[in-house]
Amino acid sequence: MEKPATDRINEKEAVIVIRNVYKSFGNNHVLRGIDLDLYRGENVVVLGRSGTGKSVLIKIISGLLKQDSGTVKVLGQEVDRLNDRQLQELRLKLGFSFQSSALYDSMTVRENLEFPLVRNQKHLSRKEVEDAIDRVLDAVGLIQTKHQMPSELSGGQRKRIGIARTLILRPEIMLYDEPTAGLDPITCIEINNLINKVQEEFKTSSIIITHDLTCAKATGDRVAMLLDGKFIKQGTFDEVFNSNEERIKSFYNYNFIE
């Protein structure tokens, strides 16, 4: 089922603006002049096969890579023009959900959540820290795992805790890198539902990088199809895939949707 339209999206306020961005690695031309806007309150899915530059785009948005040309503005700031301190301040407003979940194996769930919070918000009292931990654990439905180790969790639970650790800093923008990769179909549905819940409850704007059509259909207010280094179609899921473009049809047919 395609995600219904939401009235939370403010199309008068773009929180990410990408214009004519190119990025190459030697002779490998990964991004070939892409344009993309992310509006306040919106979930945009960047859809494409592995190796098409989706993860490179996230790294450019977060300042981990610099584009060869073009502009990338996040919350009104040109990312590649920021100094280290400004970039660090901006990254506190960005939440990253990594494909691997990126939890510290030697820490409990609670300690994993506490670490970024006390590191970046040193003024918080012990009660405020505990309340914040409980709130995000409750949001992802895993309050019972608070004192467990990551090794005791399933893949889907680790993914949820990774999202909770990101949410604890209350980011304005979420960046999800292949959020359903490697998960079974039931857990994929749970993660898709969680992405929508995060959008609603935490008022985030999100870019969701995926090659999973079910994830794209369930979570995207808008889908941007990235092929051969360019966005060849943008719109709702149905607008993108009701297309006679052969490359889009072959991508759809290659993937299976129930």
Question: Mean per-residue pLDDT for 145-161?
Answer: 94
The residue that leads in pLDDT, 16 or 2, is 16
Type of residue found at 94: L
- Residue 36 — very low, low, confident or very high, per pLDDT cuts 50/70/90? very high
- Count of domains for the chain: 1
Q: Is residue 242 part of a domain?
A: yes
Question: Mean per-residue pLDDT for 52-65?
Answer: 91
Give the sign of the dihedral formed by CA 12, CA 13, CA 19, CA 21: negative
Q: Is residue 142 part of a domain?
A: no
Q: Is residue 83 part of a domain?
A: yes
Q: Is residue 67 part of a domain?
A: yes
pTM more than 0.85: yes
Rounded to whole angstroms, the Cα distance separating 108 from 124 reads: 20
For the segment 185-242, what is each residue's pLDDT rounded down to a tens digit? Answer: 999 999 999 999 999 999 999 999 998 999 999 999 999 999 989 999 999 999 999 9
- The answer to whether the CB of 15 falls within 8 A of the CB of 172 is yes
Strand partners, 102: none
Asked whether residue 257 carries a pLDDT value surpassing 60, the answer given is no
- Residue 6 — very low, low, confident or very high, per pLDDT cuts 50/70/90? low
Angle between helices 126-139 and 155-167 (to 10 degrees): 130
Q: Is residue 147 part of a domain?
A: no
Residue span of the structural domain in which 227 resides: 10-93+171-254
Q: Give the E-state strand segments of the chain in sequence order.
A: 10-25, 28-40, 43-47, 69-74, 77-78, 94-97, 173-177, 205-210, 222-227, 230-235
Question: Mean per-residue pLDDT for 146-165?
Answer: 93
Q: Is residue 139 part of a domain?
A: no
The H or E element that residue 165 is part of is: helix 155-167
What is residue 258's predicted lDDT score, i.e. its pLDDT?
A: 44
**Phi and psi, residue 198, nearest 5°:** -60, -45
Angle between helices 155-167 and 109-120 (to 10 degrees): 20
Q: Is residue 149 part of a domain?
A: no
What's the CATH number where 209 sits?
A: 3.40.50.300
What is residue 1's predicted lDDT score, i.e. its pLDDT?
A: 66
Q: Is residue 176 part of a domain?
A: yes
- The answer to whether the CB of 74 falls within 8 A of the CB of 65 is no
57-79: burial string, b at 16+ Cβ within 10 Å, e else: bbebbbbebebeebebbbeebeb
Query: What percent of the chain is predicted at pLDDT more than 90?
Result: 77
